[in-house]
Amino acid sequence: MVGIVIVSHSYKIAEGIKDLTDQVANGHKGIVAAGGMEDKSIGTDAVRISEAIKQADEGDGVVILADLGSGIMSAETAIELLDGEGIDVRLADAPVVEGAITAAVTAACGSNIDQVIAAAEQTRTVKKIN
């Protein structure tokens, strides 16, 4: 199953999004929150993200969703830290909440990493209010 890593500058936000994804993708054990710094303060840490990627990896790849620009940069650094580990890790260009939920459900249905990324990225165009 494709793993999901949720990156946020806030520990609480990442954990909250993980709680939501756990509810809708019941049974998916490869959803990991990588929010905040080790002491739960605000920030992102490439080493923590790389550890989350390893934890989320079940052999079918890992999709990362991040909240803000420096979260993306930390995720890119985390991917570089794992060079040579043989994990297919990709960043989704998607809203972190909607993208994570959609990615988790799509992954839980057994879709491959390309399908999970596509589903997450489709959430960029979803209207919430008519």
Residue environment code for 59-73, b if the CB has 16+ CB neighbours within 10 A, otherwise e: ebbbbbbbbeeebbe
Q: Chain centroid to CA 33: how far?
A: 7
φ/ψ of residue 79, rounded to 5: -60, -40
| 28 annotated active-site | no
Q: Average pLDDT over the chain, rounded to whole?
A: 96
Q: Which of 6, 8, 9, 30 is catalytic?
A: 9
pLDDT at res. 66: 97
Residue 130, pLDDT > 90, answer no
Beta partners for residue 65, in sequence order: 6
Closest CA to 106 of 95, 121, 124: 121
Domain boundaries, the chain: 3-125
pLDDT at res. 123: 97
Summarised one tens digit per residue, pLDDT across range 60-70 is 999 999 998 89
pLDDT at res. 26: 86
pTM of full prediction above 0.75: yes
The count of residues in the chain is 130
- Kindly report the CATH class assigned to 3-125: alpha beta
Quick one: average pLDDT of 37-51?
96
Summarised one tens digit per residue, pLDDT across range 75-122 is 999 999 999 999 999 999 999 999 999 999 999 999 999 999 999 999
Summarised one tens digit per residue, pLDDT across range 17-33 is 999 999 999 888 999 99
CA dist 67 and 97 (Å) reads 9
